[in-house]
Structure 1
Amino acid sequence: ALGLFIATIVVVADSVLHRSMLPFPTYDRVANAVRGVREAVMYGVGMVVLATVIAHMPWRYRLMLGACAGVLASSFPFSTDDRVLWVSVIAFSVAGAALAVISREDISAITRFQKGIAIIGIVFGILTVGYLLYWVMNPGFDAIEYRNAAREAETDGTASVVGLSLTDPSERGPHEVLYLTYGSGADIRRPEFGRDADLITETVDGRPFLANWIGRSGDERKDFWGFDRDELPLQGRVWYPDGDGPFPLVLIVHGNHSMYEYSDPGYKYLGELLASRGYVLVSVDENFINGNISQENDARGWLLLEHLKVWDRWNEGEVTGGSGKNGARESSVGDNEQTFNPFIGEIDMSRIGLIGHSRGGEAVTIAAFFNSLPYYPDDATVPFDYNFDINAVIAIAPVMGQYQPGGRYTDLSDINYFVIHGANDGDVSSFSGASQYEHVTFSGGPYRFKSSLYVMGANHGQFNQVWGDRDSRLPSGRSLSTRSLIAERDQRKVAEVYISAFLEATLRGQLNYLPLFTDAREGKQWLPETAYLVEFDDARSMKVATFDEDVDVTTTTLAGGSTMAQNLTVWREQRISMKSRTKETAGVYLGWEVLEDRNGDDVAYEHEEASDESDRESTEGNVATNLDDDDITPRYVIDLPEQFVVDPSSALFFSLADANESSKAPAHLRLKDEEQDNQHRQDLGTQELERSQDQNNSNSNNEEEDKGGPREPIDFTIRLVDTRSNVAEVLLSRFSMVQPQLEVQLRKTFVDDPRTDSEAVFQSFLLPLEWFLEANPKFDVSRPARIEFVFDRSPSGVVILDSVGFRTAPTS
């Protein structure tokens, strides 16, 4: 004990000496050191007291306490909160002790006081167990109240969206739907891929792609499935139209889930819908690489390409054995052998789409990436020779970066891409697909586009009929709050509308559906009521500023342009942060705060519609230098290069997201405000000063009341100036407003308030140049010289601006 004490004193003295005394002792440094020593001593004393208490307990209880507490600590729900663990341990122990007391044979010897204590212990235990059961069974919280910016822009009368006058893409089509399965014929778990398979396929060697199929995990798979990684089966469920083709081919693949709960049947709703509309949809079985495995998404993508090879051979006329029990067309080979192939010449291999969910969402990206490569990037001894006509890639709540070829994220070029994600995703909780969206680029040539959709109230699992509303396996999945989810049928309706419309646009050239991929309100007659955020880009977009070129805030992506800002409290360019990653792109953060002036008047610019042509037309002058220094309205300005010309039928586009950060001026600017306040006090008399303070207090109280409700959408003015200095203005809300970040509470808590999460998700804005011509008929829509974002409508806010440019509509 003496040796331990002396050693501790030496170590503490050395630490205190260097942390609080050398080279210059200060009061704060010494106080912090003393506080740290005091907390350590108290912790040590507490441990001694706890050990002493436990030492006086019966040995049987000590044994059970050590064993059971350790097991409970790693078990749901006690693993979610240490406080719940120890309160429960105490409650269970007290209840057990109380039951032991009142069950004694000589209960008459127990005093009334002891009986009372025993009853209290039993009640305590019952209440604890009851609360635990209630917490486990409770579906969680209602959705957090929010303001729907797109809806309010319509109800306020500033935006008017009629909706597409097209056929609902989620409606069943004219074709009768047929169904069959194909597989190895040797599946020992599922007859539909085994003895009852309609079509038989050969196995493939997955060893180069499944390095983690080893050890206990590999043995478990081999024992359960009956095969090893060198003989992976190619198996799928096929929904196809009854009729004459050729039909587009679409493959859909699930993500990671328990391999004992098969995921591939979960897309039956999409299979039946798309087959009725003239597509062949295959739900690919990759359950054998689900579960406790990692770094396998390259294998998932490679398997999709191997499936396409099979379909290419079938389309060319290869026949195969199988049961044909689901009505496949027969052809006779030899005297005794029956072979089947209903797809000879029925598949349009020039129109292929891939759909993936979760890890499958990354797998389809990898498949499209591998498709054009000559060799496997991680091992060039594995040759590739695919080169299929993959025209559409759809990712449902995908992960990103689980597989990185050569240590890089997967880039796609000149391919149509669509990603959908739910705000209430309890598995992939951050919008990872928004990052992959940034890695899809266009180089010209045939028309291509990409779009992302963020759905409030949608989770991860309800896109799959097997997975349902639990985004993690039981029992831990019971910690998720499911009450705030939209109905499962509504979530699948969103998927049906958007996936079908995307395939119609990309595989059949029905570009009339394109507006749906910029503005979800174009499909409001088909979609359930919730908040949607949609981002869009295409091969015809001429980018002026993407903010990715450098860290100079005054430069633009387009050579010869420049930017400037006036009266902003926030102005910086940076990578856009999300919950658990960055968006793989930069944006400009713009913040403003318009306060009352010294007389209590609003100093924000008041937007007024031009009353006549003279009001609309500014004087001739140099548009690069004609900002009014006396105008304190916050604004961000992009000056376009000289000789810049656009098609008059174009539209101005940009993407905006709410930054959800303070718009307060930085400290060095607030110091100037304080100096002005001091001068203000000297200039005002006592009575006027008191009146001003009363007004400020009233405003402060109103601000506190506003904090209790949802944040308001942000609106401002978009101003264009042409080369002759003619000015035309359009309100942002004529299209929509900036949606405040959508807040969700994914997990239940025992004691604390639930954690609220949100992230910056972008909405694309599209303002036709004809709107600016309506505002000022003298405005030259072909020669814009300046773009101004004038923050004159909302008194404060911080937005993230990205991807500014002009776009012409594609020809159908």
Structure 2
Amino acid sequence: MFDISSKNQKKVHRSLLPKIPLPGISPLPPGWKGAIFGVSLVTLFICLVQASYYLGSRGFQDYFIGTVLSLLAILGITGLITSGLHWAKKMPSRYVWFLLSSICLLYLSFLGPLPLSLSVLFCIIFSFSLLGSLVYRFIKGSYRETSRWVKVTAGTGVAAMCIFICLLGYWLTSEGFANLVVQNPLQTVKTTNNYSSSVANPADPGPFRVKSIAYISDPTYRKDLDSQGHLTTEPVDGSAFVDNWSSRRTNTFGFGPEAMPLNGSVWYPEGDGPFPLVLVVHGNHLATEFSDPGYAYLGKLLASRGFIMASIDENFLNISPYDDLFILDGLEDENRARGWLLLQHLKTWETWNASKGNPFHGKVDMQHIALIGHSRGGEAITTAAAYNQMTTYPEDANIKFDYHFNIKSLISIAGTDMQYQPGGQPIKLQDINYLSLHGSHDMDVNSFVGANQYYRTCFTENSDYIKSYVYIYGANHGQFNTIWGGTDAVGVGNMLFNNSEILPGEQQIQAAEVLISSFLEATLKDNNSYRMVFQDLGYAKEWLPETMYINNYWDGKTTTVTNYEEDSDPGTTTLPGGRLEGDSLKVWKEDKVKMELSDEQYNAVFLEWDNTTVTSTPAYNVILPDSAVDITDTSTIVFSLANLDTEQDVSAADALVDLTISVEDKNGNISHLPLSKFSPLLPMLEGVLAKRPLGFFQTIKEPIFQNFAFNINDFVKADTNLVPERIDKISFIFDRTTKGKILMKDIGIRNDQK
């Protein structure tokens, strides 16, 4: 034995000492070492790139610290998980450890629909693990003594993995593999001879010279707004409207929730005024990449047309991965603050308008106010409208409200819905104009939830209020804001999405300008000529980009015959005394409308027909009550339809559904008009959000209601014996399309020409 305690003993050579293995850890074969290197290197590279999107705008120090801490946290958590799985012994524990770490880090980078993200993660991890394993074994000489067949197979595997990784890289970095195909654009389904109007394009600049100014509470936070001549505002205490504001967030922005700043960029017309006031608020985005400058295009346009527009800064309420520990310790319930802050801005504008010496003294028409919100901002404006009418804060009645501004119009752009419900109740709007815009290729707010708020907006009978929505084929979430642009996810997560099938950015902005400007002209300036745009989008077909649109419309001048919300009896109308009858229909029932990803909130009637299986023509009849319906030759029959045929090919010859609308008076006179006189019913518009061939993992195809309006005078022209005042039956006859599935909602009589 060696006496290793003796000072005179010679040092023992390391090779003579026995190798004592660590408990539970065996030597790692070269292949597994290579697999670890392969998957770790690609994961680290992708994470560093993604971290630059999340943290790069904070500076190198925060980027470095945040990235290192995140990596260490993931490695620690997955190390613990690996220890628990070590008993399986099917793979070396160290590889399992790094594999789990890679899965977590890659998933945080490729956030998206779970099946889509997991498919991409599997391809990355499998290919780089196998490539790393094979290459490392070659380097270590593991194949020197093997047969030629083994060497050829291993070499082929390396080549195959290299080719697969190149193809995967090309797939990830491409925009997509199909262009947007518009089968039935608005310009085709709306014939030219039906539309003539003398009103100017609302997206054209108006006669006013545009000026701009900023207002800020703290110039150290928004140095970009700290321009010469800016206005100064006092911060407000919003601590009651947001939870879990961390000290990290305070350190980043320089203030806490008790001192939220009132910042905004203003575009306004040169002149005495007073001019209607429009506030625009963004949604959730990286807090350190300011979103409010992205609506400058709207500010310049609206100011030139005689509006004051302010783009509001609420970026400090947005996601901040560094401050929020990514998603582990973020803000809670901040949507309340988004709406409340808009009212605080209005208080500031009210003060300025009344203050001599202020550049806006007497120039603001506080009786004509509109709020525009994008994404979560689309929900913030409805929260503001709800708070505006309340006496106390629903979550703490000790906080009193006394706003009562004359907010006349709301415009939601790709808005969220019901992320916040005051007092646990969905927001219902009464007597306020409402417009919602949404895109079929929205890769953030995938489902058209703005339709929910549309149906929760009601008017006093015979009032001048209107509501509408426009569903734009090919529009995405971000291009309504020039800062957000064509990517709806963050960083490398965008590589999963099908950006080749979205509208060009300038066209999406063009659509927003036309529709938003038209709505404000109609509702804030009472320019009724622009109401026609929403009653029938064909009036805007020369102004809008060439794509497909589905729009809906209702106003206070319309008497509801049936909206299918009154009871569960398919034979009764909402208007007392009316009846509903079906004949030879394959399906006839009333039920909730199911959207792709949103809760079921409103009812419709489900109708299906197949003329090849029946002897009489299928029809759906509305029998009007003996009284309470005022119909003249200037009245209009209105209703909305949605295509429900999910199997229909949008490019098929019978993709456009047609049917016959007939009216009958008490004398037995019947007049018929085809649905296509107004417009055929468009098919369900499909938004393929994920890149092909994985598009089936994320495809949106929803029933969107399309409004139709038939003038009674047109029926009289078709049958001069018809007596409008004695009409008692409206029929929908399914004789022009052999078979189909549709939803019907909101049948009414409009009398807006009185």
Question: Is the 8 Å Cα contact of residues 146 and 711 (structure 1) preserved in structure 2?
Answer: no
In structure 1, distance between residues paired with 2:280 and 2:151? 65
- Structure 2 counterpart of 1:760, which letter? P
**Which segments of 5 or more consecutive residues in structure 2 lack a partner in the other structure?**
1-84, 320-329
Structure 2 vs 1, CA of residues 794 and 160 (structure 1 numbering), >3 Å: closer, same or farther?
farther
How far apart are 1:281 and its partner, in Å? 0.5
Question: Is the 8 Å Cα contact of residues 266 and 310 (structure 2) preserved in structure 1?
Answer: yes
> Do structure 1's residue 241 and structure 2's residue 269 form an aligned pair?
yes
Corresponding residue of 1:642: 626
- Structure 1 counterpart of 2:645, which letter? N
Q: 1:216-235, CA deviations, whole angstroms, 9 ceiling, x for partnerless residues? A: xx223211101000110000
In structure 1, distance between residues paired with 2:276 and 2:694? 54
Question: Is the 8 Å Cα contact of residues 139 and 483 (structure 1) preserved in structure 2?
Answer: yes
Corresponding residue of 1:503: 520
Q: 1:754-804, CA deviations, whole angstroms, 9 ceiling, x for partnerless residues? A: 543210101110100001101110100122111111111101011111111
- Of 762, 768, 772 in structure 1, the residue corresponding to residue 705 of structure 2 is 762
Question: Is the 8 Å Cα contact of residues 145 and 710 (structure 1) preserved in structure 2?
Answer: no
How far apart are 1:711 and its partner, in Å? 5.2
Matched position secondary structure for 2:709: strand
In structure 1, distance between residues paired with 2:93 and 2:663? 82
How far apart are 1:541 and its partner, in Å? 0.3
Q: TM-score, normalised to structure 2's length?
A: 0.82
- Structure 2 counterpart of 1:647, which letter? T
Question: Is the 8 Å Cα contact of residues 440 and 700 (structure 2) preserved in structure 1?
Answer: no
In structure 1, distance between residues paired with 2:166 and 2:636? 61
- Of 236, 241, 254 in structure 2, the residue corresponding to residue 226 of structure 1 is 254
Question: Is the 8 Å Cα contact of residues 544 and 558 (structure 1) preserved in structure 2?
Answer: yes
Corresponding residue of 1:373: 390
Corresponding residue of 2:689: 746
Q: TM-score, normalised to structure 1's length?
A: 0.77
Q: Percent identity?
A: 39
- Of 716, 721, 744 in structure 2, the residue corresponding to residue 778 of structure 1 is 721
> Do structure 1's residue 295 and structure 2's residue 333 form an aligned pair?
yes
Question: Is the 8 Å Cα contact of residues 186 and 547 (structure 2) preserved in structure 1?
Answer: no
Structure 2 vs 1, CA of residues 407 and 143 (structure 1 numbering), >3 Å: closer, same or farther?
farther
In structure 1, distance between residues paired with 2:331 and 2:312? 19
Structure 2 vs 1, CA of residues 753 and 196 (structure 1 numbering), >3 Å: closer, same or farther?
same
Matched position secondary structure for 1:148: coil
Q: 1:678-729, CA deviations, whole angstroms, 9 ceiling, x for partnerless residues? A: xxxxxxxxxxxxxxxxxxxxxxxxx9xx898475111111111101111111
Structure 2 vs 1, CA of residues 802 and 141 (structure 1 numbering), >3 Å: closer, same or farther?
farther
- Of 717, 739, 748 in structure 1, the residue corresponding to residue 660 of structure 2 is 717
In structure 2, distance between residues paired with 1:309 and 1:498? 28
- Of 582, 586, 593 in structure 1, the residue corresponding to residue 610 of structure 2 is 593
Question: Is the 8 Å Cα contact of residues 632 and 712 (structure 2) preserved in structure 1?
Answer: no
Task: Write out aligned runs for 1:95-110 (5 A).
Answer: 95-104=131-140
Aligned length in residues: 657
How far apart are 1:470 and its partner, in Å? 1.1
In structure 2, distance between residues paired with 1:464 and 1:568? 46
- Of 339, 343, 355 in structure 2, the residue corresponding to residue 317 of structure 1 is 355
- Of 332, 356, 360 in structure 1, the residue corresponding to residue 373 of structure 2 is 356
Task: Write out aligned runs for 1:691-706 (5 A).
Answer: none
How far apart are 1:525 and its partner, in Å? 1.1
Structure 2 vs 1, CA of residues 456 and 179 (structure 1 numbering), >3 Å: closer, same or farther?
same
Structure 2 vs 1, CA of residues 163 and 419 (structure 1 numbering), >3 Å: closer, same or farther?
farther
Corresponding residue of 2:313: 285
Corresponding residue of 2:33: none
* Mean CA deviation greater in 187-196 or 342-351: 187-196
How far apart are 1:192 and its partner, in Å? 3.6
In structure 2, distance between residues paired with 1:120 and 1:637? 70
- Of 167, 171, 186 in structure 1, the residue corresponding to residue 204 of structure 2 is 171
Question: Is the 8 Å Cα contact of residues 182 and 200 (structure 1) preserved in structure 2?
Answer: yes
How far apart are 1:290 and its partner, in Å? 0.6
- Of 548, 559, 580 in structure 2, the residue corresponding to residue 542 of structure 1 is 559
Question: Is the 8 Å Cα contact of residues 689 and 695 (structure 2) preserved in structure 1?
Answer: no
Corresponding residue of 1:469: 486
- Structure 2 counterpart of 1:178, which letter? K
In structure 2, distance between residues paired with 1:394 and 1:708? 32
Matched position secondary structure for 2:713: helix
Question: Is the 8 Å Cα contact of residues 177 and 692 (structure 2) preserved in structure 1?
Answer: no
**Which segments of 5 or more consecutive residues in structure 1 lack a partner in the other structure?**
1-50, 320-340, 598-602, 604-631, 663-702
Structure 2 vs 1, CA of residues 139 and 783 (structure 1 numbering), >3 Å: closer, same or farther?
same
Question: Is the 8 Å Cα contact of residues 565 and 602 (structure 2) preserved in structure 1?
Answer: yes
How far apart are 1:422 and its partner, in Å? 0.6
Structure 2 vs 1, CA of residues 302 and 60 (structure 1 numbering), >3 Å: closer, same or farther?
closer
- Structure 1 counterpart of 2:166, which letter? G
Corresponding residue of 1:76: 110
- Of 173, 178, 181 in structure 1, the residue corresponding to residue 214 of structure 2 is 181
Structure 2 vs 1, CA of residues 729 and 123 (structure 1 numbering), >3 Å: closer, same or farther?
same
- Structure 2 counterpart of 1:242, which letter? E
Task: Write out aligned runs for 1:473-622 (5 A).
Answer: 473-582=490-599, 584-595=601-612
Structure 2 vs 1, CA of residues 239 and 778 (structure 1 numbering), >3 Å: closer, same or farther?
same
How far apart are 1:113 and its partner, in Å? 4.3
Matched position secondary structure for 1:308: helix
How far apart are 1:582 and its partner, in Å? 4.4
- CA-based RMSD of the aligned residues comes to 2.7
Structure 2 vs 1, CA of residues 480 and 711 (structure 1 numbering), >3 Å: closer, same or farther?
farther
> Do structure 1's residue 652 and structure 2's residue 637 form an aligned pair?
yes
In structure 2, distance between residues paired with 1:372 and 1:73? 44
Corresponding residue of 1:304: 342
How far apart are 1:468 and its partner, in Å? 0.7
In structure 2, distance between residues paired with 1:393 and 1:59? 57
Q: 1:351-376, CA deviations, whole angstroms, 9 ceiling, x for partnerless residues? A: 11111001100111111111121111
